[in-house]
Structure 1
Amino acid sequence: MGKVFAERLGAAELEKLQHASFNYFLHETNPVNGLVIDKTEANWPASIAATGLALAVYPVGVERGFMPRASAVERTLTTLRFFWNSPQGPEPDATGYQGFYYHFLDMQTGRRAWQCELSTIDSALLLAGALTAGVYFDADTAEEHEIRTLADALYRRADWPWAQNQGATVTHGWKPESGFLNYRWEGYDEALLLYILGLGSPTHPLPESAYAAWAATYRWEHCYGYDYLYAGPLFTHQLSHIWVDFRGIRDAFMRAKGIDYFENSRRATYVQHEYAIDNPLKFAHYGGHCWGLTASEGPGPDTINVAGIERQFFDYVGRGVPYGPDDGTIAPWAVAASLPFAPEIVLHVLDYCIHDVKLTESNRYGFKASFNPTYPGAYGNPHGWVSPWHFGLNEGPTVLMIENYRTGLLWQLMRRCPYIVGGLRRAGFTGGWL
């Protein structure tokens, strides 16, 4: 079975999906400031996370021949100059504060949108993208030298201890109207990258105790035959792995468990696969060929009767396995982003979504965000509801994790980043390539 799927979904088709997803960043970016729109809905703001992913995506575009190096340099410089020169301060209409940035920014002005929070995790994704550019653009030219200088300066400006707000762990963010958010980065999640970046800072580093405090909140679980570090949505097992090759390197927690974070993500991917086969809530089409629960858009909010069962459907929510929430919504991009961990089960799903559900047909940017075979679709679509939108936060991981599966490009680049290496060492990682 696996061989048939692999043959149907060869390297050329993976590259086609990768290229289509890459095109999001070509066409949904403001060329004046480098900001990338969060979502393809009219009048939507930019997302700093999507913009950080763009900075990491451009090197892939150059290597794959999707864009000329000169164009990538120009876009990258525009983006980094914007963030370096944009207003930093406590004013409610600034772009950032203390070296961090607001989650959503107006696409034209670059100022804070929607009274959103200054986001520590989205700032981390933005800075990771900047550091990627700083490593990749290594030519002895004035432009590439400026990229390296700006990437370094942006990273050094972030005041990580400030974001702790005198606590042991890092807060989710801050608002000028009300101060720090009540939530902190606790429990295993995508903040693995955030803590590594915070620990690696040469100017305002997190104390090593912050990482230990975060790891102390982990949940080790046994689900569907797998022992693993639990986090429900797939994206939490992926985002940090875009930049860091965790194969063979371990912190104190993973040394005690005898695995590494890469193996943990492989197990989490298999738990999703097994959950879909088990299908405890009896959603349509779930199985070994159809799985992938993550933070994604859905057909709700709505409660309707489907085949005699009253079903509750959600809008944008962090769907997860095995404890939910689960309303039958599948996000194919999140499966693509698990390609490095378990290609033998991921290729089945990508093949199904491309050839059977036709989720890339007539779409400029590869997969639409999500689909729900249980929720009745428009015009009697046998595959149910399909999201009308594309999101930058979906397209970036698709491009980057396909590339890591194919060549390991991002992993090789970030092994050369002294701040990532230093952050890993301060977090207690040893072994392997370190």
Structure 2
Amino acid sequence: MVEVPTPNIESAPSDEDFARLQFTTLLYYLHCTNPDNGLVRDKTQAGAPASIAAIGMALATIPVLVERGIIIREFAAKIARRRLDFLLHCQQGPEPDASGYKGFFYHFLDIETGRRVWQCELSTIDSAFLFAGALTVATYFDEDTADEARIRQLAASLYERADWNWACDHGATLTHGWRPENGFIPYRWRGYDEGLLLYILGLGSPSHPLPQESYAAYTASYDWRNIFGRELLYSGPLFTHQLSHMWIDFRGLRDEFMHEHDSDYFQNSRQATFVHQEYAIRNPMEFEGYGEHCWGFTASDGPGWLTAEVDGVRREFFDYIARGAPFGPDDGTVSPWVVVASLPFAPEIVIPTVLNCGRMNLGMTRLYGFKPSFNQTFKVADSPTGWWISPCHFGIDQGPVALMIENYRTGFLWNLMRNCEPIVRGLRRAGFTGGWL
């Protein structure tokens, strides 16, 4: 087992401590990647398939690996080029064992062949994370070398072949996806969530752009609330307030909705972070461990689908599900990674919480960093802590930690993506003004 130097977890984590956590988190994308094709495992469980979203996040971290001196730029470019080349040449078509269709990709792929597994869905949002990662390396690798020029060509081809209008299925909003067995999934991206990035990328496409009306349709069902005395655009799981922000610095940027509410999406994510902490402090369901320095509810692994009596209280527990605050679902499961990913928004409450998690034997100093989730209410006799801890790390949890630490420390990804033409175009077509635009 690889160890990194132990940070000082008896006092507030320093920049060096966050650098160590970032480094060990990044190791996931180096260790859990098939070197033959660049596909990245969904999770550390043996035999796990590749996750198209994790591949996108792995791409997005490559510039960080270079800037932090972990990989030489020349070799990092080769890693990016090989990964993009394999994806671009994966089979696209209506066949049930293809890798994707109409430019989008299936959620999970066989890590050797790149073919669809588990009859999973063609996922618009997971494809968006892939496209964002491809655009990241295309923006970063701007030198006049054969590999870097090829990266730009491959990324453009991968992104520009996505048919965003097809993915709307004759409606105003984007669908969640499609299956060859029964067609489009009967759910649409409406109301605030991680779909913000999806629409910006769709609007920014130079080949198959979404109509501007699609963004208005997405925001039409936004839910502005007052929660614990804080005004914010509500979405329960904390990750929904973070993933679009890995690439886009929303400070000062406002669309029509945020103009009307005298806010922006960055400030909204800050408010959501405080809501999660306040919910844990109030702890209405009286779960063990919740408090000022133990919070963070998101899509995560859990103890399992079961009901058990705990200290005379009948409790319902969940497996992998999108947990949220303050309206649930909630089963006592907390995710350290989603706390770290809020570092740029609210460092004054994130840093003490990271310190507390660092004291809890959750793997902060070990390979891949914090275990993604734990539940102190669910007792496990042979656990080193006495309670449940997720046995696996997940590829889609590693990216937000590594990238948001970098944005907190230097703003590197945010500054880089200001030069990404599709994102700038998508923001403008969505009606964003102000800030760095």
TM class, shorter-length:
over 0.9
Superposition deviation, residue 305 in structure 1? 1.1
1:34 and 2:38 are equivalent in the alignment:
yes
Residue in 2 aligned with 1:390? 393
Question: Percent of pairs identical after alignment?
Answer: 60
What corresponds to 1:77 in structure 2?
A: 81
What is the deviation of 1:308? 1.1
Note if contact 1:200-1:426 (Cα within 8 Å) is conserved in structure 2: yes
The answer for the alignment partner of 1:246 in structure 2 is 250
| 1:10-409 paired onto structure 2 within 5 Å | 10-354=14-358, 356-360=359-363, 363-379=366-382, 381-382=384-385, 384-409=387-412
Q: TM-score, normalised by structure 2?
A: 0.97
Moved more, 6-15 or 119-128: 6-15
Instruction: State the Cα deviation string for residues 180-228 of structure 1 (Å, max 9, x = none).
Output: 0001001110000000000001110000010000100111111111110
Once the two structures are TM-superposed, the CA of residue 74 in structure 1 deviates from its matched residue by 1.4
Give the distance between the partners of 2:13 and 2:364, measured in 1 at CA: 15
The change in CA–CA distance for 1:383 and 1:422 in structure 2 (over 3 A counts) is: farther
The letter of the residue matching 1:408 is: G
Distance 1:69 1:288 in 2: 42
Gaps of 5+ in 2: 1-7
Question: How far is the alpha carbon of 1:139 from its aligned partner?
Answer: 1.2
Following superposition, the deviation at residue 71 of structure 1 comes to 2.4
Per the alignment, in what secondary structure is the counterpart of residue 363 of structure 1?
coil
Letter in 1 for 2:397: N
Gapped regions of structure 1 (runs ≥ 5): none
Superposition deviation, residue 348 in structure 1: 1.2
Deviation at 1:379, TM superposition (A): 2.8
Letter paired with 1:177: E
Q: Which consecutive aligned stretches of 4+ in structure 1 deviate over 4 angstroms post-superposition?
A: 4-7, 380-383
Count of aligned positions:
430
User: 1:232·1:321 contact (CA, 8 Å) conserved in 2?
Assistant: yes
Kept in 1, the 8 Å contact 2:361–2:385? The answer is no
Cα shift at 1:120 = 0.2
CA distance in 2, matches of 1:380, 1:335: 23
The one-letter amino acid of 1:155's match is: Y
Conservation of the 8 A alpha-carbon contact between 1:190 and 1:236: yes
Could you give the per-residue CA deviations for residues 101-139 of structure 1, whole angstroms, max 9, x where no partner exists? 010000000000111111000000000000000000111
Per-residue deviation, 1:377: 2.4
Is contact 2:122–2:178 with CA below 8 Å preserved after alignment? yes
Match in the other structure for 1:418 = 421
- Is 1:432 aligned to 2:412, yes or no? no
C-alpha distance in structure 1 between counterparts of 2:10 and 2:55, whole Å: 32
SS at match of 2:178: strand
Q: TM-score, normalised by structure 1?
A: 0.97
Q: Considering fraction of residues, name the structure with more helix.
A: 1
Deviation at 1:383, TM superposition (A): 5.7
**Structure 1 pair 239/6, CA: closer, same or farther in 2 (3 Å)?**
farther
**In 2, Cα distance between equivalents of 1:204 and 1:109:** 28
Give 1:67 shift. Answer: 1.7
The answer to whether the 8 Å contact 1:357/1:383 transfers is: no
Secondary structure in 2 aligned to 1:221?
Answer: strand
Sort the Cα spacing of 1:131 and 1:300 in 2 relative to 1 into closer, same or farther, 3 A: same
CA-atom RMSD in angstroms: 1.3
Q: Partner amino acid for 2:398?
A: E
